[in-house]
Amino acid sequence: MALWGGRFTQAADQRFKQFNDSLRFDYRLAQQDIIGSIAWSKALVTVNVLTQQEQQTLALALETLLKKVTADPQQILASDAEDIHSWVEQQLIEQVGDLGKKLHTGRSRNDQVATDLKLWCKHQVPVLLHTLNTLRQQLVVTAEKYQDAVMPGYTHLQRAQPVTFAHWCLAYFEMLSRDITRLQDALARLDVSPLGCGALAGTAYPIDREQLADWLGFARATNNSLDTVSDRDHVMELLAAAAIGMNHLSRFAEDLIIFNSGEANFVELSDKVTSGSSLMPQKKNPDALELIRGKTGRVFGALSGAMMTFKSLPLAYNKDMQEDKESLFDALDTWHDCLDMAALVLEGLEINYARCCEAAQQGYANATELADYLVAKGVPFREAHHIVGAAVVGAIAKQRALEALTLTELKVFSPVIEEDVYPILSLESCLAKRNAKGGVAASQVKLAIEDAKKALSTM
């Protein structure tokens, strides 16, 4: 029987029941629902609804249930209860009889589900933080290994200036660090207890909600009951954090897919994260990376779905809000799995040094160096830029790199060019000159690795 059967003379249509029930996904809130119920039973003692003795009986039964569901959460799915709240209550009544029916006094499923979901988020966010940090660790390990792996850096997917693979790794370290603080911010904001707000107007029992919040491990209790049962900001914030985090992972994946292409051939992916083609025996496909890239769409979809669901919803609780959970669970699971895969991909990655270096040397990636050289000899930058442009056209016509032109050939473009231009045009010099904070020079990358390690050690 449903929790609310009294007002009804007809049973729900089976098809409606299936449509309406949320147990198949909210069973994941079982632990939180039980923990919330234990705290609520304690609160009911303070307002003389339960005796100490009764509370102890309820708490014992709930703790036993907690152990049971922790061991095997899927067992819940065998029930035809409407949702996790009904399921826990049913189980409790089965265990302790009529006493179990007292627990819902002064409480509503509206403040209950809000509490459960926030508790779940509080449990899940640290799991994600840990996974984000593991990937950060792997990025630092990889950066450390490949400090001397020079490769082309791109803008517009055109070879622009040489960088190192280490510098590339540390770019993603920065993105993940922002993802971490974004999650921490969201966590701090959601750490407020809804319990004791009742259905919408507050509970009619004089419960100390701050104490209740404290028992549940929340920083404090919410301020306004109408807002509390309607608020799903934390769902939207976590989905936004996940969507941005996946956005970063999609760029990571796409970069590596390009680096791994036959055309670039900069990296070799491990057999552990690639698959073959059923038809073409020569192929080794970057599936792990492609799936990371693909799943980004699904996580962003969850965010836009939630934004639409909550848009224009009148206060306070509406059943629309039940739609919050499936997409949140799926998006956070997906983000977690993709972070894990990204770390696995990095772990087995090999760099093709020769090929990376060769590509960095091609494409006139040292053209800026020649311009800077002319500037140092007193040529205004705009003019220098123009001269080098002409030199590049000349070099392309001869199918040679800038540094492969003879001094006489170079002097055609500017008489100020001397023998001392050649060391300037080397890859080593291109890298070493970018020695301001955040630049690609080896000394800066070393500092960045040290800073990154410090950040890792504080997590």
Which CB atom, from 73 or from 363, has the smaller least distance to ligand ARG?
A: 73
Q: CB nearest ligand ARG: which residue? A: 322
> CA torsion sign, 239 to 244 to 247 to 253?
negative
Determine whether 167 is an active site residue: no
Which CB atom, from 113 or from 186, has the smaller least distance to ligand ARG?
A: 113
Q: Establish if 230 lies at the interface with ligand ARG (CB under 6 A).
A: no
CB 307 within 8 A of CB 240: no
What's the CA angle centered on 432, arms 428 and 438, to 5 degrees?
135
Which CB atom, from 226 or from 416, has the smaller least distance to ligand ARG?
A: 226
DSSP state of 275: B
Per-residue x/- track, 113-132, ligand ARG (CB under 6 A): x-------------------
* Rounded distance between C-alpha atoms, residue 392 and residue 365, angstroms: 10
Closest separation between CB of residue 124 and ligand ARG, Å? 17
Q: Which of 90, 211, 270, 322 binds ligand ARG (CB under 6 A)?
A: 322
User: Strand, helix or coil at 16?
Assistant: helix
Alpha helical stretches, state H, 351-426: 353-361, 367-376, 381-398, 407-411, 421-424
- Counted residue by residue, the chain has a size of 459
Which CB atom, from 90 or from 322, has the smaller least distance to ligand ARG?
A: 322
Stretch that binds ligand ARG, among 279-287, 319-327, 361-369, 373-381 (CB under 6 A): 319-327
**Where in 12-41 is the site for ligand ARG (CB under 6 A)?**
22, 26
**Where in 56-95 is the site for ligand ARG (CB under 6 A)?**
83
Q: State how far the alpha carbon of 246 is from the alpha carbons of 179, 215, 360, in Å.
A: 10, 35, 29
What's the CA angle centered on 90, arms 100 and 6, to 5 degrees?
85
Per-residue x/- track, 152-191, ligand ARG (CB under 6 A): ----------------------------------------
Q: Which of 32, 41, 55, 110 binds ligand ARG (CB under 6 A)?
A: 110
Residues that bind ligand ARG (rule: CB under 6 A) add up to a total of: 10
**Where in 278-317 is the site for ligand ARG (CB under 6 A)?**
317
> Which residues are CB-contacts of 25 (< 8 A; sequence separation ≥ 6)?
325, 326, 329
Q: Which of 321, 328, 374, 430 binds ligand ARG (CB under 6 A)?
A: 321
Of 250, 399, 239, 260, whose CA–CA distance to 328 is shortest? 239
* Rounded distance between C-alpha atoms, residue 75 and residue 37, angstroms: 20
Determine whether 277 is an active site residue: yes
Task: Report the interface residues with ligand ARG, using CB under 6 A.
Answer: 22, 26, 83, 109-110, 113, 317, 319, 321-322
Annotated catalytic sites, by residue?
Answer: 156, 277
